Amino acid sequence: MAQLAPAYLPRRPTETVLYGIVREHLASFLAYTRERYERPLPAYVEAELRSYLRCGFNLHADVRIEAGDDVGRERLCRYAARPPVALDRLRRLPGGRVAYRLKYTCSP
Protein backbone atom coordinates (compact mmCIF):
# COMPACT_ATOMS: atom_id res chain seq x y z
CA MET A 1 0.00 0.00 0.00
CA ALA A 2 1.34 3.43 -0.97
CA GLN A 3 2.44 5.81 1.77
CA LEU A 4 0.34 8.98 1.91
CA ALA A 5 2.15 12.30 1.97
CA PRO A 6 1.83 14.19 5.24
CA ALA A 7 -0.91 16.83 5.36
CA TYR A 8 0.15 20.29 4.25
CA LEU A 9 0.74 22.64 7.16
CA PRO A 10 0.85 26.29 6.08
CA ARG A 11 3.82 28.26 7.29
CA ARG A 12 3.30 31.01 9.80
CA PRO A 13 6.16 33.44 9.14
CA THR A 14 4.79 35.98 11.62
CA GLU A 15 5.40 33.47 14.43
CA THR A 16 9.12 32.93 13.72
CA VAL A 17 12.04 34.37 15.66
CA LEU A 18 13.34 35.98 12.46
CA TYR A 19 10.06 37.82 11.83
CA GLY A 20 9.98 39.11 15.40
CA ILE A 21 13.55 40.38 15.15
CA VAL A 22 12.97 42.16 11.84
CA ARG A 23 9.69 43.67 13.08
CA GLU A 24 11.26 44.84 16.36
CA HIS A 25 14.51 46.22 15.03
CA LEU A 26 14.00 47.31 11.40
CA ALA A 27 13.40 50.99 12.15
CA SER A 28 16.37 51.30 14.51
CA PHE A 29 18.59 49.30 12.10
CA LEU A 30 17.71 51.62 9.21
CA ALA A 31 18.27 54.71 11.36
CA TYR A 32 21.61 53.33 12.54
CA THR A 33 22.82 52.67 9.00
CA ARG A 34 21.77 56.16 7.88
CA GLU A 35 23.68 57.77 10.77
CA ARG A 36 26.82 55.62 10.72
CA TYR A 37 27.59 54.94 7.07
CA GLU A 38 28.64 57.33 4.33
CA ARG A 39 26.40 55.64 1.80
CA PRO A 40 22.89 54.47 2.66
CA LEU A 41 21.73 50.92 2.19
CA PRO A 42 20.63 50.25 -1.37
CA ALA A 43 16.91 51.01 -1.72
CA TYR A 44 16.15 47.41 -2.72
CA VAL A 45 17.50 46.12 0.63
CA GLU A 46 15.11 48.30 2.62
CA ALA A 47 12.28 47.45 0.21
CA GLU A 48 12.89 43.70 0.63
CA LEU A 49 12.98 43.94 4.43
CA ARG A 50 9.71 45.90 4.44
CA SER A 51 8.22 43.42 1.96
CA TYR A 52 9.20 40.57 4.28
CA LEU A 53 7.12 42.13 7.06
CA ARG A 54 4.11 42.35 4.74
CA CYS A 55 4.23 38.94 3.10
CA GLY A 56 7.49 37.05 3.61
CA PHE A 57 10.55 36.98 1.40
CA ASN A 58 10.16 37.66 -2.28
CA LEU A 59 12.12 35.50 -4.71
CA HIS A 60 13.13 36.93 -8.08
CA ALA A 61 14.58 34.19 -10.25
CA ASP A 62 14.39 33.13 -13.87
CA VAL A 63 13.98 29.39 -13.63
CA ARG A 64 12.92 27.28 -16.56
CA ILE A 65 12.13 23.59 -16.26
CA GLU A 66 11.51 21.52 -19.35
CA ALA A 67 8.36 19.43 -19.62
CA GLY A 68 9.01 16.02 -18.11
CA ASP A 69 12.04 17.19 -16.09
CA ASP A 70 11.11 15.48 -12.83
CA VAL A 71 14.55 16.05 -11.29
CA GLY A 72 14.44 19.78 -12.10
CA ARG A 73 10.92 20.08 -10.71
CA GLU A 74 11.92 18.31 -7.50
CA ARG A 75 15.02 20.52 -7.14
CA LEU A 76 12.88 23.66 -7.57
CA CYS A 77 10.33 22.43 -5.01
CA ARG A 78 13.08 21.65 -2.49
CA TYR A 79 14.58 25.10 -3.04
CA ALA A 80 11.24 26.88 -2.64
CA ALA A 81 10.34 24.92 0.50
CA ARG A 82 13.54 25.64 2.44
CA PRO A 83 13.50 28.17 5.28
CA PRO A 84 15.31 31.50 4.72
CA VAL A 85 17.70 30.76 7.57
CA ALA A 86 18.50 27.64 9.58
CA LEU A 87 16.28 28.29 12.57
CA ASP A 88 18.15 25.75 14.69
CA ARG A 89 21.20 28.05 14.47
CA LEU A 90 19.28 31.21 15.50
CA ARG A 91 18.71 32.15 19.14
CA ARG A 92 17.81 35.18 21.25
CA LEU A 93 20.36 36.49 23.72
CA PRO A 94 19.70 38.52 26.87
CA GLY A 95 18.97 42.17 26.23
CA GLY A 96 17.18 41.54 22.92
CA ARG A 97 20.31 40.63 20.97
CA VAL A 98 20.37 37.74 18.51
CA ALA A 99 23.03 35.14 17.76
CA TYR A 100 23.32 33.17 14.53
CA ARG A 101 25.79 30.27 14.53
CA LEU A 102 27.49 30.03 11.13
CA LYS A 103 27.77 26.67 9.45
CA TYR A 104 31.34 27.37 8.36
CA THR A 105 33.96 29.69 9.81
CA CYS A 106 34.93 32.65 7.66
CA SER A 107 38.58 33.41 7.08
CA PRO A 108 39.69 37.00 6.44
Domain ranges of the chain: 13-91
Model confidence, pTM:
0.46
Average pLDDT over residues 50-78: 74
Please state which of the ranges 9-13, 64-68, 103-107 shows the lowest mean pLDDT: 103-107
| Torsion, CA 16, CA 21, CA 27, CA 28, rounded to 10 | 180
User: Looking at residue 29, what is its pLDDT?
Assistant: 92
pLDDT level of residue 88 (50, 70, 90 thresholds): confident
Mean pLDDT over 39-44 rounds to 84
Flag whether pLDDT at 107 surpasses 60: no
d(CA 45, CA 32): 15
Q: Answer whether 39's CB lies under 8 Å from 30's CB.
A: no
Asked if pLDDT for residue 108 goes beyond 50, the answer is no
Q: Cα angle vertex 86, ends 18, 5, to 5°?
A: 105
pLDDT-based confidence at residue 1 (cuts at 50, 70, 90): low
